[in-house]
Structure 1
């Protein structure tokens, strides 16, 4: 199954949006569609989300992005290289829920 190029580009656009609402909605769509992505789509979205998390200034968006990354791992299609940007994230600056997602992702992939 696949979400298709148009939907993939929409998610990419919204993940990189200046609007916190759009970024949070994109993360929620990722969670909703997690089993609809093919391998290429999962890896592209995971790479974008992991980069977004590192620079995210909005706490709610960061939590949604980390949650979406955790949900994507259920696909079994993510590779460590897709999440390499997470190595730049400072754990000491994360809230407890964010740290739980972060710890899970780091323990699974690094």
Structure 2
């Protein structure tokens, strides 16, 4: 399977939707399609996910977003500079699972 430009832009639109259920569903789609993304698509999604995680106010959705970013990072299709916005997350506002995702992502940079 390969992801078309139309599917990619639809995914980005869903990642930035006002409805938290749509945003969470988009994260699930990313993890389902993880092996279908090329380098450009992975980088675009990584930047979108990192930025979304940095501003997400719903804890469950933020955790889904960080999980999807972690799965995407495991593909090796981009470097850590593509998730720079998560460095701005205040660790005191994250639950244990979210902190684990953030720590794992930041550990990739070392």
Structure 2 partner of 1:43: 43
- Structure 2 unpaired stretches of 5+: none
Name the SS for the 1:98 alignment partner.
Answer: helix
Give a deviation string over 1:39-64, Cα, whole Å, max 9, x none: 00000000000000000000110000
Paired with 2:85 and 2:42, the residues of 1 have a C-alpha distance of 16
Structure 1 partner of 2:106: 106
Question: How many Å apart are 1:109 and its aligned residue?
Answer: 2.4
Question: How many Å apart are 1:73 and its aligned residue?
Answer: 1.6
- Structure 1 unpaired stretches of 5+: none
Structure 2 partner of 1:94: 94
TM-score w.r.t. length of structure 2: 0.95
TM superposition outliers: structure 1 runs of 4+ over 2 Å: none
| Corresponding residue pairs, total | 110
Task: Assess, with a 3 A threshold, how the Cα gap between structure 1 residues 32 and 94 changes in structure 2: closer, same or farther.
Answer: same
Structure 2 partner of 1:60: 60
The yes-or-no answer on 1:4 pairing with 2:14 is no
Paired with 1:29 and 1:102, the residues of 2 have a C-alpha distance of 20
Paired with 2:106 and 2:22, the residues of 1 have a C-alpha distance of 26
CA RMSD, 1 decimal: 1.1
Give a deviation string over 1:5-51, Cα, whole Å, max 9, x none: 01100110011100000100000000001110000000000000000
TM-score w.r.t. length of structure 1: 0.95
The yes-or-no answer on 1:22 pairing with 2:8 is no
Name the SS for the 1:99 alignment partner.
Answer: helix
